[in-house]
A = this chain, B = another copy of it.
């Protein structure tokens, strides 16, 4: 197998975070490997051998090691001392778990933000709401989903809780999402989008009125809907095709 080397990483568009740290080789490796895992080019449970990876990527084992640590942190591989790295199976249940944790953190964010709103974040959230409203009519579910995610992240920012924000970003970077983005988002019909946009607007309103309970209530509805619909789609998907090897029955 010839050495494919690294494609030297396209634009560094600030990885969903604010930091513009230089893009290190281990990070690039982790990204590539992560993509491979999501795409099913690496199967669940497969063992990853440092030397092989190093040769395939055209680097030495050092950076590969660090990349594996990064992927461990992202919960994409299990790292057993002296026994190697294994790609972690990604069950439907673990996706549900992920949704629920995100939900809990987002609700804490909403509650906190509504308790002591910071004007700049409220404004940003308002902008997102406007965007969502505008997108109800158009029919681009992917764009809609992205803005929703961004709005939720704004709330995480607005909470002022840095740990919460960090965890949210970590979870968002979780590759599960990459998988989910690739699933059909047809369930985001106009009606569903309408409802979501309204609920987000309600949340914004509650934040403005400094009513934490109301904010939590509406955001919870929004995210629970999202979770349930996404899970339904994923479940169906599994029934049809037994592949997508990254997603096991679990």
Binding site for B on A (CB under 8 A): 21-22, 24, 62, 65-66, 69, 73, 75, 80-82, 94, 97-98, 100-101, 103-105, 107-108, 112, 161-164, 166-167
Contact = CB atoms under 8 A, between A and B. Distances in A.
B100 A108 contact: yes
Contact of A162 (B73, B80, B97, B108): B97
B104 A163 contact: no
A81 B22 contact: yes
Given A22-B81, A66-B69, A167-B167, A108 B103 contact: yes
19 contacts: A22-B82, A24-B81, A24-B82, A65-B66, A66-B69, A73-B73, A75-B166, A100-B108, A100-B112, A100-B161, A101-B105, A101-B108, A103-B108, A104-B104, A104-B105, A104-B107, A104-B164, A105-B105, A167-B167
A161 B101 contact: yes
**Copies of this chain, whole number:** 2
Given A21-B80, A22-B82, A65-B66, 15 more contacts: A24-B81, A24-B82, A62-B62, A66-B69, A69-B69, A75-B166, A94-B163, A97-B161, A97-B164, A100-B108, A100-B112, A100-B164, A101-B161, A104-B105, A104-B164
Contacts of A22: 81-82
